[in-house]
Amino acid sequence: MDTIKIAVQKSGRLNEDSLRILKDCGVPIDNGKDQLRASARNFPLEVFYLRNGDIPQYLRDGVVDIAIIGENVLFEKGQDLEVAEKLGFSKCKVSVAVPKGSGYKSPADLQGKRIATSYPNTLSHFLDANGVKAEMHIINGSVEIAPNIGLADAICDIVSSGSTLFKNNLKEVDVIMRSEAVLAVSPHIGEKQAAILEQLRFRIRSVLRARDNRYVLMNVPDGKLQEIIRLLPGMRSPTVLPLAEEGWSSVHTVIPQERFWEVLDQVKQAGAEGILVCPIEKMVV
């Protein structure tokens, strides 16, 4: 049977999030301890657990057909590779940070300085775009300690919460790029594997839509029905059902997560009562 080969990060948060979205897509993976390859039980998919920085080359060589990988890694090592889908999780930034006491005002202040980084290509692109020449020290891991030990004047590294910068007395001064997990595709993917990829993308989109929306039920006085319906941003038109109590209706709708609290405040003020909010498992449109 034809299968599609997908690479995911061997360990860490991206690994966990990648396996979670596959599971939510109905593709659970049986993976024993320290196993480097595993197969899905009910979908033609085989998982390769690889080091994050090696994944772009595996895609380029056609060893794997697709991969879940951070945009920051693709920008650094695989700008030639196609992105099939943005996945919305494992978000972070690649940023420039300097000691808190620094008088940094603009990228021009990096002229002639020493910058420690694990992202030399990304940093070079940023420096070139700003007409700055600086000395790079390429470090794999623990980049944030470089200024404290006198190795560098600044760093360029991944920033998630900023707590690591704070602990090392650094401050973020420039965001070079914002990153999230993406589904990347090998240029050598076969026709049958491309068809399986489309099936997987359909499932992924359904899961991501569900994560971004909430199902809401509310009781509404009939006299306020049209006013509240106008406030709802849901799919096409809400479902309206009469309640056993005369003069009241039950309104069912879907509200985007980003507008959720704003809309709830509005409909409550307009007269909605008994508002229930439910997560959505899958959402097919």
Stated pTM of the model: 0.84
Q: Measured between alpha carbons, how far is residue 40 from residues 44, 85, 154, 171, 245 in Å? A: 7, 21, 44, 43, 50
Average pLDDT over residues 162-177: 89
Least confident of 30-34, 180-184, 259-263: 30-34
Residue 284 within a domain: no
- Asked if 198 and 60 sit in the same domain, the reply is yes
Residue 235 within a domain: yes
- Asked if 153 and 175 sit in the same domain, the reply is yes
- Asked if 191 and 243 sit in the same domain, the reply is no
Asked if 240 contacts 225 with a C-beta cutoff of 8 angstroms, the reply is yes
Q: How far apart are CA 157 and CA 151, in angstroms?
A: 15
Reported as a single tens digit per residue, the pLDDT across 83-103 is 999 999 999 999 999 999 888
- Asked if 82 and 192 sit in the same domain, the reply is yes
Residue 247 within a domain: yes
- Asked if 100 and 174 sit in the same domain, the reply is yes
Residue 285 within a domain: no
- Asked if 35 and 172 sit in the same domain, the reply is no
Reported as a single tens digit per residue, the pLDDT across 243-262 is 999 999 999 999 988 888 99
Torsion, CA 88, CA 91, CA 93, CA 97, rounded to 10: 170
List the CATH number of the domain containing 115: 3.40.190.10
Structure confidence at residue 59 (pLDDT): 96
Domain that holds residue 26: 4-87+181-210
Residue 68 has pLDDT above 70, yes or no: yes
Total number of domains in the chain: 3
Share of the chain above pLDDT 70, in %: 98
Q: Give the pLDDT band (50/70/90) at residue 235.
A: low
Average pLDDT over residues 52-78: 94
- Asked if 67 and 78 sit in the same domain, the reply is yes
Structure confidence at residue 166 (pLDDT): 86
Structure confidence at residue 1 (pLDDT): 64
Reported as a single tens digit per residue, the pLDDT across 184-233 is 999 999 999 999 999 999 999 999 999 889 999 999 999 999 999 999 88
- Asked if 33 and 62 sit in the same domain, the reply is yes
